[in-house]
Structures are given as structure tokens and as C-alpha cells.
Amino acid sequence: MIRLAATLALLASPLAAEPRQHGNVIFDVPEGWSPGAIRDGVLTVLFDGPDELCEFCSILIGPDAPAQGSLTDWLEANAPLLVEEEDRAAIEVLQPAEASGATGRPLAMQAFAADGDIVVAFALQAGGRFQLLGFEGWAYDEEEVARTLAFLSSDASPLMDRFRYVSEGAAPLMPPPVPGGMDGLWWGWWNGFSVGLDGMMVPQVEQRTLVFWPDGRFYDGQPPLGLAPLDADALRAAADPDWGTYREGPGTIELRFADGRAERLTRDGEGWSDGTATLSRARPLADGGRLVGTVSSFFYTGFTPGSGIEGGVSSSSSTTFALDGTYRGDSFGGAFGNFTDGGGITGGFATQSPGATGGTYEIRDGLVVMTPADGSPPTADLGFVADGEVVIGGRFLDTEG
């Protein structure tokens, strides 16, 4: 059983850092670290420094909850959130959750192994809330475990020790909303590229949607409730980073996101430029309206050169809407290719996975809500008219097919 040092050290001379916020936690991102993806309410802050210090190491900032019951029990129940869902069944507990009196606030700690990594989970009480934190690093042998835990003690713990908590009085990085003159949906596009498995650049259309409310709030992307007023409490509980408050200035709009990011839009004719695209006002689809046409997508990439496989992977999907309020969906995914060696082709293969769905749809609050007939959960896509085209979920409606 691994016994962990319970004391969180302090840095003697903190590095200059970028302030960020995830839910209840306000933290600094110093040089050598970068915020990554959010999964199940857990933000991964990646260590980008030398591999010899700590390879694939990260600090994990999890959800918080009202401080009720035992902190140790809460940690045991929530620590699995720190690993991907498919790895939770194989968690091997190395140190059971236990309370520690090493800091000025209630603290509990647990250690476990998952998918070749060691994860050290912390639960602490900050004001009236419990907070889940963690640290993850490689653990494929004893030497790597020792190096990972040494980095936790020397570098990661001091960073976590300087975290600040809104529940203890820290001021949120996002300013409070102030009623403004912006409202409605704004949309823009630009030509971008993605990189396929074969390393080739594939052109594609990139899009951005911003929704504003006169109360001073905005959402970047598809709001969970469409154009209905934002549910700020739900967004905070989900640690959603894509909303915030805005301030208008002469020819500018300042966006301040919930996680502390800031952005400035500048006036460009009748629209607003973010430096990449100009966003113009779009007209949401009317509540209760009907659609006739099909939205579709297609993707293809070849296999990596030198992999010994010639061929590629493709996928496509389409959804057709009818005036009677029904829809039909079709999808296809497949791979095909030939195995090769220095002498030529040695064999081939082909796989395919067709699928079909259908059900009813409803337009409300700017969303096209699709309810499958097989009882699956409904899905929703933002729908609007821009530049004379109907756009649903980022895809253009074809009314002539």
C-alpha cells in the first residue's frame, strides 16, 4: 500500500501565471502547464514541461458540491470521476480514502491505479462546499511511480495549494452581468483545415455562433436551452466554460468567459469580427415551424503512410425532414484497404457499419429537437437562417435533393 505525504508544500517564489477558473476553483496557469479538455465536469491541466520531470502528468480539477456528510465518503464516491468512464471498473485502490489534518481545512486523500496511471485524489472542504481535486501520472514500473509522486510533491502540490475558492470569498473572474444592447444569434464562417490519418490537410468550413441576451450574458456555440434565457446556476454546476458576460464599447464588445478567458470583437460593417471571421446576425427558425429537405455530411481520410495499409476510412450521415413533423436519418461508416509489404499487396479488407434512425422533430427556442421513435434520448441542433440558407447543426439544408 502506498503512503502519501499529506503536507502540501508552498512555493517560495511563484511564477507569473494566467488566472483561470473552473467552477468553484480559481487557479493560476504558470509556464509549463496548459488547460485541456473538460470531461464529466473534470478539467485536465496538462504539464507541458520536460518528459524527464514527469511524462503525461496532469492536475485534475473536479466538481464541487454542498458540504454534507462525511468528506471521506464523498471522496470515495466521486474520485472515480477523475478517470475515463471505460477505465473505472478496473480501478485498483492503492490507498483507501482517509482524512488528513495536514492543512488548515478538512482534507481527505486516496490513491489508485487505472489504465497504467497512478491517480492521487483529494477532497477538501472550502467554505460550505466539498471540492474534488486530483493528480495523474504514469506508473508502468516502480521507478516511474517514484518519479511521478516526487513531481506531485515538488511541483503539482504547491500549485494546488495556491488554488482559491469562490466559496471562501474569492471573486469570480467573470464580471457580473450588466444589461446591454446586444441580443439574438450571430453566425460566421471561414475556410479551415483538418489533418487526416495520412497527414494530409483536408479543407473544411469552420463556423462560429454567438448568442447574446439583453441581460448582459452570452454563449459561445449552441446554448443548452437554445435561445431561452441562460440558466446560470446550471451552467455553473456543470462548470461550462463557454458562457459569460459582455460589455459594449465604441465599436467593440468585450467578452469575459466563465473560466476567465477574455476576447474582444470589433465592428465590421453590420457584423462583428473576432479576427478570423465576421459574425452577422442570423434569424432563428420559428417555434413550431416545419422543414423540408436534407442535411448531410461526409468525411474521408487515408491511412498513415508507411503503416503497411493502403486505403482509408470514411463516414457519412444524412437527416431528411418532412412537413408532417417526422425525420429520417441514415448513416454509414466503413474502412477499406490492402495490406502491403516490400513485395506488394498481401491481402485486403473491407468493413462497413450502416445505420438508420427516425422519429419526430419540433422547433422551439431556436433548436430543432429530434425525438427518435425507438425511445432513445432526444437530440437538439441549433437551427437558423443566414445568408439565405437554412443551417441546422452547422450543416446546410438541401431542399432540392
pLDDT digit string, tens, across residues 26-53? 999 988 999 999 999 999 999 999 988 8
Do residues 67 and 162 share a domain? yes
pLDDT at residue number 133: 98
Q: What is the pLDDT of residues 367-388, one digit of tens each?
A: 999 999 999 999 999 999 998 9
Do residues 191 and 275 share a domain? yes
281 half-sphere exposure, CB direction, 13 A CA radius: 8
Do residues 308 and 276 share a domain? no
| Domain membership flag for residue 354 | yes
pLDDT at residue number 191: 84
Q: What is the pLDDT of residues 139-193, one digit of tens each?
A: 878 888 899 999 999 999 999 999 999 999 999 999 999 999 999 999 999 887 5
Closest to 212 in 3D by CA, of 366, 388, 91, 36: 366
Greatest alpha-carbon pair distance for the chain in Å reads 71
pLDDT-derived band at 357 (thresholds 50, 70, 90) equals confident
Please determine, for residue 75, whether its predicted confidence score (pLDDT) is greater than 70.
yes
Q: Which of 237, 257, 282 is the last residue of a domain?
A: 282
Please determine, for residue 15, whether its predicted confidence score (pLDDT) is greater than 80.
no
pLDDT-derived band at 105 (thresholds 50, 70, 90) equals confident
184-209 mean pLDDT: 75
pLDDT at residue number 7: 32
Do residues 45 and 70 share a domain? yes
Please determine, for residue 97, whether its predicted confidence score (pLDDT) is greater than 60.
yes
DSSP readout, 336-370? EEEEEETTEEEEEEEEEEEEEEEEEEEEETTEEEE
Report residue 292 CA to chain centroid gap. 33
78-102 mean pLDDT: 91
Residue 93 near residue 144 (C-beta atoms within 8 A)? no
Between 76 and 306, residue with greater pLDDT: 76
Q: How far is CA 286 from CA 13, 214, 325, 367, 385, in A?
A: 57, 20, 14, 9, 10
- Nearest 5°: the CA angle 390, 391, 395 is 130
Do residues 191 and 91 share a domain? no
Do residues 23 and 160 share a domain? yes
State the cell numbers at 363.
422547433
How far is 311 from 349, CA to CA, in rounded Å? 9
pLDDT-derived band at 221 (thresholds 50, 70, 90) equals very high
| Domain membership flag for residue 1 | no
Q: Which of 254, 282, 310 is the last residue of a domain?
A: 282
Ramachandran assignment for 343, one of left (phi > 0), alpha (psi -120 to 50 degrees), beta (any other): alpha
| Domain membership flag for residue 6 | no
Please determine, for residue 348, whether its predicted confidence score (pLDDT) is greater than 60.
no
Into how many domains does the chain fold? 3
Lowest mean pLDDT among 31-40, 42-51, 289-298, 326-335: 326-335
Domain span at residue 247 reads 184-282
Phi then psi for 308, rounded to 5 degrees? Answer: 85, 10
Between 340 and 244, residue with greater pLDDT: 244
Contacts of 105 (CB under 8 A, 6+ apart): 124, 125, 126
Per-residue burial over 312-327, b = 16 or more CB atoms within 10 Å of its CB, e = otherwise: bbbeebbbbbeeeeeb
Do residues 307 and 263 share a domain? no
Q: How far is CA 268 from CA 20, 37, 109, 190, 276, in A?
A: 30, 32, 53, 15, 12
Q: How many CB atoms sit inside 10 A of residue 104's CB?
A: 6
Phi then psi for 299, rounded to 5 degrees? Answer: -140, 140
Please determine, for residue 130, whether its predicted confidence score (pLDDT) is greater than 50.
yes
Between 30 and 268, residue with greater pLDDT: 268
| Domain membership flag for residue 155 | yes
pLDDT-derived band at 289 (thresholds 50, 70, 90) equals very high
- CATH number assigned to the domain comprising residue 104: 3.40.1000.10
